Amino acid sequence: MKAEVTSEKIIRRKWQLFGNLNVRTYTMIFALLAIWIFFSLLTDTFLTPRNLSNLFIQMSVTAILAIGMVLIIVAGHIDLSVGSIVGVTGGVAAILQVWYGMDTVPVLILTLALGALIGLLQGWIVAYHAVPAFIVTLGGMMVFRGILMGITKGTTVAPMEESFKLIGNAYLPFAVGYGLAALAIVWMIVTALRRRKARIQYGFTVPSMAAEAGKLALFAVLIGLFSFVMNYYKGIPFPILIVVLLGLLFTFIANKTPFGRSIYAIGGNSEAARLSGINIRRNTLMIFVLSGLMSAVAAIVLTSRLDSATISAGQNYELDAIAACVIGGTSLMGGSGTIFGAIIGALVMASLDNGMSLMNLDSFWQYIVKGSILVLAVWVDIRSRQRRA
């Protein structure tokens, strides 16, 4: 009987947390729409299909890094080296293809393996030698940047093969784009109905069916509008498909696997997680491996899009990835955060960059605005935690 009561409490806590995350997610979506409306009033080109397509392409690298960064931050760590890992893995990919003439597929495999290996090395130092992640990854940021300068000899390595360039520059055919949009709408409706049924089963209040249908209709219109606008230009950019697939995969890992639940438990209370039998060292090692792997994926997309590798590639990308996570609702205190929120945060960051560039604002204003928003997001997170406490 006691076990049943405990299980019910856990389920109720899960749904309460889900509700809090929903509110935060909707807030971020409305904030994003407000940013778009603001820049559309100040510029004539912000909401054009061409600019929106470029905007989504620009945010793809930050979004991929943020997807890997979420688990790092949720577990109570930080990774300052992802930008330099993007640079060095992208540099290795370009060198293998341009200087040594390797085909695209082997280059992709070796690049991903290198990213995972770098993450394994840093995770091993953090997890099994108790060196703070801040120090390990800060050192890694400098080490990998230096390695990139050394292996490229300070030069730009280009051009890449056409098959490699397609990764960051291709667009999906119109029919495929509309088909994926239809699948996304069907999946959203089925998921929402299952969630509604589960909430009713466990005794939670649910909105009226009319309100639920209205919400689903709104999101269906947004998905259809996105597909239409992208197809109006050239089609859905392939990097966005990569972001969506990785977002779905990591959302599943975070919410539906013992590993993902362990990461949230570690970030929420590491001592309680240890006493409950969670292998903290192994899980910490794995999140750094995944972060390194995501950095390599981002490097492939960036190198493909630029058709080159440079010594400045990935510089300061770690700051954008962290900011995207925090703006998207991931707490720097650990224990909470979502993949979808991080992707929205990356889109917010890219929208600010894009909009201010269209307004021809000086670069110092861009740093001031993004830094201020980051501080505001952290302040809001701390205040919300204090109110819940």
Give the CATH number, domain containing residue 119: 1.10.3470
Mark whether 274 and 359 lie in a shared domain: yes
Are residues 273 and 265 in contact, defined by beta-carbon separation less than 8 angstroms? Answer: yes
**Among 115, 5, 97, 106, CA closest to 308:** 97
Tell me what pLDDT residue 12 has.
47
Mark whether 47 and 161 lie in a shared domain: yes
Mark whether 186 and 320 lie in a shared domain: no
Q: How many domains does the chain have?
A: 2
Q: How confident is the model at residue 14 (pLDDT cuts 50, 70, 90)?
A: very low
Q: How confident is the model at residue 199 (pLDDT cuts 50, 70, 90)?
A: confident
* Mean pLDDT over each residue of the chain, to the nearest integer: 88
CB atoms within 10 A of CB 351: 21
Two tokens at 90?
Answer: 């992208």
Give a yes or no: residue 5 inside a domain: no
pTM confidence score: 0.90
Mark whether 43 and 91 lie in a shared domain: yes
**Among 370, 72, 131, 16, CA closest to 250:** 72
Mark whether 139 and 256 lie in a shared domain: yes
Mark whether 68 and 113 lie in a shared domain: yes
Give a yes or no: residue 1 inside a domain: no
3-state secondary structure of 171: strand
Give a yes or no: residue 314 inside a domain: yes
Give a yes or no: residue 284 inside a domain: yes
Residues 6+ apart with CB under 8 A from 47: 36, 40
Examine the pLDDT at 353 and tell me if it is beyond 80. yes
- Domain region containing 216: 171-236
Residues 6+ apart with CB under 8 A from 61: 86, 239, 298, 301, 302, 317
Owner of token pair 């999906």: 172
Give a yes or no: residue 18 inside a domain: no
Range of weakest confidence among 16-25, 198-207, 332-341: 16-25
Task: Tell me the percentage of the chain whose pLDDT exceeds 70.
Answer: 93
Mark whether 36 and 92 lie in a shared domain: yes
Q: How confident is the model at residue 53 (pLDDT cuts 50, 70, 90)?
A: very high
Cα distance between the two ends of the chain: 29
Give a yes or no: residue 3 inside a domain: no
Examine the pLDDT at 290 and tell me if it is beyond 70. yes
**Among 348, 331, 366, CA closest to 21:** 331
For 9-29, what is the mean pLDDT? Answer: 55
Tell me what pLDDT residue 25 has.
67
Mark whether 224 and 278 lie in a shared domain: no
R_g of the chain computed on alpha carbons: 21
3-state secondary structure of 237: strand
Give a yes or no: residue 243 inside a domain: no
C-alpha to C-alpha distance for 293 and 281, rounded to whole angstroms: 19
Q: How confident is the model at residue 374 (pLDDT cuts 50, 70, 90)?
A: confident
Burial 353-369 (b: 16+ CB within 10 A, else e): bbbbeeeeeeeeebeee
For 177-191, what is the mean pLDDT? Answer: 92
For 339-350, what is the mean pLDDT? Answer: 92
**Among 259, 263, 252, CA closest to 69:** 263
Burial class (CB in 10 A: 0-12, 13-18, 19+), 375: exposed
Q: Single out the residue in 236, 261, 285 at which a domain terminates.
A: 236
Mark whether 327 and 181 lie in a shared domain: no
Mark whether 351 and 335 lie in a shared domain: yes
The residues pairing with 309 across neighbouring beta strands, listed in sequence order, are 157
Give a yes or no: residue 78 inside a domain: yes
Q: Single out the residue in 191, 209, 236 at which a domain terminates.
A: 236
pLDDT, tens only, 325-342: 988 888 888 888 899 999
Could you give phi then psi for residue 237, rounded to 5 degrees?
-60, 140
